[in-house]
Amino acid sequence: MRSSQYLLSTVKETPADAEVISHKLMLRAGMVRRVASGMYTYLPTGVRVLRKVEQIVREEMNKAGAIEVLMPMVQPAELWQESGRWDKMDAELLRFKDRHTRDFVLGPTHEEVITDLVRREITSYKQLPLNLYQIQTKFRDERRPRFGVMRAREFLMKDAYSFHLSQDSLQQTYDAMYQAYCNIFSRLGLDFRPVLADTGAIGGSMSHEFHVLAASGEDAIAFSDESDYAANIEMAEALAPAGERAGATQALAEVATPNAKTVADVAALLQQDMALVSKTLIVYAAKADDKAAQTLVALVLRGDHELNEIKAEKLPQVQSPLVFASEEEIRAAIGAGPGSLGPVGMPLPVIVDRSAAHLADFICGANKDGYHLTGVNWDRDIKDYSVADLRNIVEGDTSPCGKGKLVIKRGIEVGHIFQLGDRYSQALKAGVLNEEGKHQIMTMGCYGVGVSRIIAAAIEQNHDDYGIIWPDAIAPFQIALIPMNMHKSARIEEATVRLYNELTAAGFEVLFDDRKERPGVMFADMELMGIPHSIVVGERNLDNQQVEYKNRRSGEKEMLDIAAVVDAMAQKLAK
Amino acid sequence: MRSSQYLLSTVKETPADAEVISHKLMLRAGMVRRVASGMYTYLPTGVRVLRKVEQIVREEMNKAGAIEVLMPMVQPAELWQESGRWDKMDAELLRFKDRHTRDFVLGPTHEEVITDLVRREITSYKQLPLNLYQIQTKFRDERRPRFGVMRAREFLMKDAYSFHLSQDSLQQTYDAMYQAYCNIFSRLGLDFRPVLADTGAIGGSMSHEFHVLAASGEDAIAFSDESDYAANIEMAEALAPAGERAGATQALAEVATPNAKTVADVAALLQQDMALVSKTLIVYAAKADDKAAQTLVALVLRGDHELNEIKAEKLPQVQSPLVFASEEEIRAAIGAGPGSLGPVGMPLPVIVDRSAAHLADFICGANKDGYHLTGVNWDRDIKDYSVADLRNIVEGDTSPCGKGKLVIKRGIEVGHIFQLGDRYSQALKAGVLNEEGKHQIMTMGCYGVGVSRIIAAAIEQNHDDYGIIWPDAIAPFQIALIPMNMHKSARIEEATVRLYNELTAAGFEVLFDDRKERPGVMFADMELMGIPHSIVVGERNLDNQQVEYKNRRSGEKEMLDIAAVVDAMAQKLAK
């Protein structure tokens, strides 16, 4: 492609309305333009990257035995009413009426449509398992779209849905998808991690997120520094501290702690480490039935640890979703305010985090405003309590896999695989005749990749002060061919055109910058666009029958014999 | 692909709700399923064809210098208000509000979005010409969607838009698109014709439609039997009859024609050919200004010819769109009813069709109820009249190109190229600095291909009693590999699997029908799906190290040595 016949649309100035680096660089490199809030036109450079990502995803899905379909973006309300999501989903589900005033939605996802299709098409266990996918435009009416294509309203997604009669079969397809996703992100050239994820409110039994690692990522992920273990920080188990708990050495004593409202205040006042001060949080207890009066539960953690709400609400004793008791409710139940609570003499059930349960001679509130207890010891001072994993992990914790310490990194979620179970198949009565000839509801998996989001994530991970640094596999062009002052030198032009023809004939995707621009402008544009390999044709080197090669990522330069360029590029791009 | 790992979804019964053959066959062959009125899910077989069509369109667009972009499906109302189409378009333009009650539309086309993009990105004549295209999902809320994907509400389209500063430049890109479209439809393997089309209400100067010829086509197209000339029947010029008009031989005479209400009645009564009886139609005249009183014009045609309304309303004397005068208005102006009108003594301006103007000694109404005139002759009996092309062509007319006679065939419109002019660029003030440094509004072309519609059109053109007959280039699979009773014969299985591996290794797309079905069921399915080449592996032929090849289109069978199959297929598919 010659620049003069292309739409470069690079921009020097950093756009004011872009908050994150990928958004800024996608605007500056001429990849996207905003049409409305959360809606973008992909310019030619953006489309080239998008199509490459799409094609890699498609190839790996096909290889894993998934079959491509294409469902409509506009979906009839009836299916969403049948699944119950018509009422459950908020305004993110964009609803509208057609000319005959029938209700429709713009599809944010396709569980309903695919389940409806499969219940009509598939009648026998012989046709299972089945894994159908599509690469298709989605719409989610986000309240606050931002970060460019990272969180857009209209976006391109690969969504797959699998159907099974047994958990074993679901697990097999799930594993195949896990592997396919690893292949996809490896081929894309991204540093990524599959992490154990929470299955959330939808239910389901197993879920992994795929994160592209980037300092700017929205999500925190915990890794072992010695094994493959990785989990969303909300999911990572905090193990009990190793070894026996120390024995009690102090007597229980009450101390006045006026004006000490926080753990930090108490620790400072008593000149102790925050890890030795426990904190007690009061939450709603799970109810046996709807009519039972609301009761409360006390959760106890070390003062330097954070409650993990997802872990807490999964406990059978605790109401889900989690509700914190008000100060009024706390006073009514315990007779003291939130700043002075503790497990000693607590009139509520007590659940203690594993780390807090390992403390000896610790400090807690006295359940009496303005007082704390010191020298507190489990079993001696508190008889009735249970122990659970209640906290967020912190860096340095032992990895739940048993090998290594946990480190925390940030990631951008670009894929999600999920064992759905029968949430949708049950609602839509999607069943088949099983081997015994009986009607059986299918079990489902779903598998998503944010195709357009990957582009933003790739840039968050791969950029420098000069612009984007594309991995070879998804670069808009593989090679930038830059002649120096071609419009003044027939010799430069002749050499560059010949090289361009040779390289394109060899199958390389070359952007030949034939604009009448100063070399500096051309270099800056090619670097901003992130083209991984560049070749500069200049007068002086031409005297030696050479051109200069530069690697965008390493910055390394080398001289290449002009006759050897095609071979050299084949080697570099095969890496 | 093995059938057992694929979603065949073929159906024996002809679906009751499908009106046209392509819709029936797409349902029966497992290509699409209806989700809602005018909305379809493409099943795997449908997607495979769709992606092939898409890729051929993409390659030819790229080759012609067009650059791919991708615009959002959801578009802000502001742009449609700016172009004026927000008010002008009827309910086909689906309007809705987002969560913040802002107005949006589902894009039926993208003139507004692309013109907005270009006015922001392009500032100088140096960046022109520019031709941008996308392959993208469109939505038109048709009042009565039908014929399956032929007239769906949601559909896939390739739309391109070009920008220029001169008519010459527009014409060059238009010509390149014309050629690209010819390449596309040739590569698709379809019998098609580019035809001159009416530019319609949008204005613009030049337009061609590309039609796939099929007996079931909605549109009539006129061709020369000796040249490349082809035009939409509405556009085809009817030339003046050759030679001098015959001289007058009869005297003008009035005859009573009571109860003769039509041309056919008059011809029968007077025992003359309908071609010798003229008919006179009264329509509204064009007004000089809005306040002028409405006047009328008389149009005169041969009794055996049909008025072409598009030709009529393009005349400067006639109001556009065409309005026929009521009987009341006709009586008030002429003093006789519609059945007795004629040009002799007509008090209105008279415009005569070229063929009617070539008549001598002809018959017309006497402008007196119940009477006609015979022996009428132009110039002698009617002095004041003008001549124009007013009629639809008929088979046998001389081709407007001067070579050959016209024949009429039916076609399905699958592409349309159009010189838009400044309709949108003017409304959106899309201009650039020209060579003189002055701001100049751009001129535009637009170029559409109905990607999903092509599939239906291809089937309308290529099918028989057994199902679809795909052209090689867009077949869902190139080869059907059918083993006879494989599940009872290890030898058959071994030979078929080896052949399958060889053929797929050689790059062929093979559907290996490994189902436990009777041969008849497999043959019927492969024929229904239209796979162009099939290879049957049977016990008897295997004794001779042979398999049977069958061509779907010709029905011809031949025996192939099993060792020569790959070469034979390469030859057949290279054709």
Residue with tokens 């606050």: A144
Please give the Cα distance from A356 to A390 (Å, whole number): 10
Q: Min CA distance, B42 vs chain A (Å)?
A: 5
| pTM beyond 0.95 | no
Q: How far is B455 from chain A (nearest CA, A)?
A: 15
Q: Which long-range contacts (CB under 8 A, 24 or more apart) does B15-20 make?
A: B18/B148, B19/B146, B19/B147, B20/B147, B20/B148, B20/B150, B20/B216, B20/B456, B20/B460
Per-residue pLDDT at A410 exceeds 90? yes
Taking each helix axis as running N to C, give the angle between helix B44-63 and helix B451-461, from 0 to 180 degrees, rounded to the nearest 10.
110
Whole-number Å distance between alpha carbons of B520 and B49: 25
Which residues in chain B have their CB less than 8 angstroms from residue A48's CB?
68
B7 in contact with A at a CB cutoff of 8 Å?
yes
- Looking at beta carbons, which residues of chain B come within 8 Å of A50? 70
- Going from the C-alpha of A30 to that of each of A529, A547, B61, B477, the distances in angstroms are 8, 28, 21, 38
Q: Which residues of B touch A99 (CB under 8 A)?
A: 91-92, 94, 141, 143
pLDDT at A199: 63
Q: Give every CB contact of residue A227 below 8 A, 6+ residues apart in sequence.
A: A399, A401, A403, A404
Give yes or no for A72 touching B (CB within 8 A): yes
Closest chain A CA to residue B452: A70
Minimum distance, in Å, between the CA of residue A525 and any CA atom of chain B: 16
For an interface test with B, the pick among A32, A61, A98, A126 (most B C-beta atoms closer than 10 Å) comes out as A98
Q: B91 by DSSP, 3-state: which?
A: coil
B429 touches chain A (CB under 8 A): no
* Mean model confidence pLDDT for chain A: 94
Torsion of CA A128, A133, A139, A144, to 10 degrees: 90
Within 13 Å and on the Cβ side, how many CA atoms surround A70? 23
Q: Do the chains contact at A143 and B97, CB–CB below 8 Å?
A: no
Quote the minimal CA–CA distance from B561 to chain A in Å.
Answer: 31
Q: Cβ separation of A70 and B46 shorter than 8 Å?
A: yes
Per-residue pLDDT tens over the stretch A146-188: 889 999 999 999 999 999 999 999 999 999 999 999 999 999 9
- The answer to whether residue A101 neighbours chain B at the CB level (below 8 Å) is no
Flag if B70 and A33 touch (Cβ within 8 Å). Answer: no
Record: contact A65-B5, CB cut-off 8 A? yes
A96/B153 Cβ within 8 A = no
Choice between A233 and A102, residue whose per-residue pLDDT is larger: A102
B176 lies within 8 A of chain A by CB? no
**Which amino acid type is present at position A526?**
M
pLDDT at A294 (0 to 100): 87
Asked if B89 reaches chain A (Cβ–Cβ under 8 Å), the answer is: no
DSSP string covering A226-256, please?
SSS-EEETTT---PPPSSPPPPP-S--EEEE
Contacting residues of B for A72, CB less than 8 Å apart: 35-36, 39-41, 154
- What is the H or E stretch that residue A330 is in? helix A327-334
pLDDT tens digits for A48-67? 999 999 999 999 999 999 99
Q: Is B71 helix (H, G, I), strand (E, B) or coil?
A: coil
Contacts B143 to A, Cβ<8 Å: 99
Mean pLDDT, consecutive 10-residue stretches, chain B (575 aa), reads: 95 88 96 96 98 98 98 98 95 96 97 97 95 97 91 97 96 97 98 83 73 91 91 88 94 94 93 95 90 92 95 93 94 94 96 97 96 96 96 94 92 95 95 96 97 97 97 98 94 96 97 95 97 96 96 97 96 86
Decide if B396 contacts B275 (C-beta within 8 A): no
Most A CBs within 10 Å, among B68, B138, B157, to test the A interface: B68
Give A461→chain B minimum CA distance, Å: 24
Judged by a CB distance cut-off of 8 A, whether residue B526 touches chain A is: no
pLDDT higher than 80, residue A201: no
pLDDT, position A154: 97
For an interface test with A, the pick among B1, B7, B40 (most A C-beta atoms closer than 10 Å) comes out as B7
Q: Is A70 on the interface with B (CB under 8 A)?
A: yes
Chain A interface includes B66 (CB < 8 A): no
For position A216, what pLDDT does the model report? 86
Task: Tell me if A76 and B153 make a contact (CB, 8 A cut-off).
Answer: no
Size of interface A-B (CB pairs under 8 A): 146
Q: Which residues pair with B124 in a beta bridge?
A: B433
Taking the CA of residue B36 and the nearest CA in chain A, the distance in Å comes to: 6
Among A6, A75, A141, the residue with its CB nearest the CB of B98 is A141
pLDDT at A204 exceeding the cut of 90 = no
B137 at the A interface (CB within 8 A)?
A: yes
Classify B93 in phi/psi space as left (phi over 0), alpha (psi -120 to 50) or beta: beta
Residue A405 forms contact with B (CB below 8 Å): no
Among B residues 460-499, those touching chain A with beta carbons less than 8 Å apart: none
Nearest residue in chain A measured CA to CA from B9 = A121
The verdict on a CB contact (< 8 Å) between A35 and B5 is: no
Which residue in B1, B70, B92, B105 has the most chain A C-beta atoms within 10 A of its own C-beta, making it the best mutation to test that interface? B70
Residues of A in Cβ contact (< 8 Å) with B97: 96
Identify the pLDDT of residue A200: 57
Query: Which residue from A51, A67, A127 is facing B44, i.e. has the nearest CB?
Result: A67
Write out pLDDT tens, residues A556-573: 999 999 999 999 999 999
Indicate yes or no: CB of B5 within 8 angstroms of CB of A113.
no
Question: Does A404 lie at the interface with B, CB-CB under 8 angstroms?
Answer: no
Contact with chain A for residue B144, Cβ under 8 A? no
Run of H or E including A534: strand A533-537
The helix, strand and coil proportions of chain A, stated in percent and rounded to the nearest 5, come to: 30, 30, 40
Whether A218 has a pLDDT exceeding 90, the answer reads: no
Find, in chain B, the residue whose alpha carbon is nearest to that of A71.
Answer: B41
Question: Could you report the predicted ipTM of this complex, rounded to two decimals?
Answer: 0.88
Q: Is A286 on the interface with B (CB under 8 A)?
A: no
**Which residues in chain B have their CB less than 8 angstroms from residue A98's CB?**
94, 141, 153
Name the residue of chain A whose CA is nearest to B113's CA. Answer: A35
Distance CA A483, CA B449 (A): 38
CA distance to partner chain B, nearest, from residue A505 (Å): 14
Q: In chain B, what residues touch A2 (CB-CB under 8 Å)?
A: none
Is the pLDDT reported for residue A292 higher than 90? no
Closest residue in B to A114 (Cα) is B41
Q: Does A438 touch chain B (CB under 8 A)?
A: no
In angstroms and rounded to an integer, the radius of gyration of the C-alpha atoms of chain A is 30
Distance from CA of A297 to the nearest CA of B (A): 39
pLDDT band at A287 (very low <50, low <70, confident <90, very high): confident
Nearest to B113 among A35, A67, A71 (CB): A35
**Residue pointed to by tokens 């990785």:** A230
Q: Does A6 touch chain B (CB under 8 A)?
A: yes
